[in-house]
Structure 1
Amino acid sequence: MEAHKFKTVDEYISSFPPEVRPILEKLRQTIIKAAPKAEEVISYNMPAFKLNGALVYYAAYKKHVGFYPTNSGITEFADELADYKTSKGAIQFPLDKPLPTGLITKIVKFRIVENNAKALVKKQK
């Protein structure tokens, strides 16, 4: 059986159990507020935001929400992420704990600055 291919973020969020949807929506709104000019898309079959390239992605799993701000977004905030499970490009926020919206906002804003700087360098070449 082939996995469902999502066309919209609303479709993605609505595919999860009712208790998970508000968590995904809160994460979505936190990102939108931090990056109001970013384009919301589905990429790699999960919600993502683009602004001068890929900004962040997120996805829900059985016991956590995965947040993907690229490796630099994790490295830059390593101390503040010490309480969360992380890997090279991913952070796991447990579904049974409050989302750290302030930290998510800081990471998204860091990624905006990073992407804008890369775009500027590219433009100057």
Structure 2
Amino acid sequence: MTPMGDVTDYLATLDGPEHDAVAHVLDRARALVPDVEEGRSYGMPALRYRGSPLLSVMVTKQHLGLYPFSPAVLEDLADHLAGFRTTKGSVSFQPGAPLPDDVVDAIVRARVAEIDARQK
């Protein structure tokens, strides 16, 4: 059984604009995928879908990071991510310059499709 509360517990440690920005991304993901569960992946609190990590959103010293656990998803959506710093596995953003909702939605939908395809 996946431990419950990892994401909720992490969110409770944040405040101000960082809390709001992280909560907003998580709320978008939950709205698109209502049956996600909370857990951990690669040591990070993460939303999980069908037993696989869907995404994590974390505060770092210099930015907020969205981690979709899929380099392919970020490669496929590179045109949507112009203007944001990306690595092979993450997208960086600031609380005052959040990822647009359509970009978050595209990342979530692409990751869900990837998980679904792998589990068929």
TM-score under structure 2 normalisation? 0.84
Residue number in structure 1 paired with 2:39: 41
Give 3-state SS (helix, strand or coil) of 1:62's partner.
Answer: coil
Residue number in structure 2 paired with 1:29: 27
| Greater gyration radius | 1
Contact 1:85–1:92 under 8 Å retained in 2: yes
Residue number in structure 2 paired with 1:94: 94
Contact 2:17–2:96 under 8 Å retained in 1: no
User: Displacement of 1:57 after TM fit?
Assistant: 1.7
Residue number in structure 1 paired with 2:54: 55
Give 3-state SS (helix, strand or coil) of 1:110's partner.
Answer: helix
Q: Identity over the aligned pairs, expressed in percent?
A: 28
For structure 1, the 5+ residue unaligned runs are 1-6, 121-125
1:22-66 deviation per Cα after TM superposition (whole angstroms, max 9, x unaligned): 111111101101211221223344331222322222211234210
1:73-109 deviation per Cα after TM superposition (whole angstroms, max 9, x unaligned): 1011011111100010111012221331111111111
Separation (CA, whole Å) in 1 of partners of 2:33 and 2:103: 14
Residue number in structure 2 paired with 1:118: 118
Separation (CA, whole Å) in 2 of partners of 1:55 and 1:98: 19
User: Displacement of 1:116 after TM fit?
Assistant: 0.6
Alignment RMSD (CA, Å): 1.7
Separation (CA, whole Å) in 1 of partners of 2:38 and 2:9: 13
Give 3-state SS (helix, strand or coil) of 1:19's partner.
Answer: helix
Separation (CA, whole Å) in 2 of partners of 1:14 and 1:33: 20
Separation (CA, whole Å) in 2 of partners of 1:40 and 1:110: 19
Contact 1:41–1:47 under 8 Å retained in 2: yes
Separation (CA, whole Å) in 1 of partners of 2:61 and 2:100: 19
Aligned length: 114
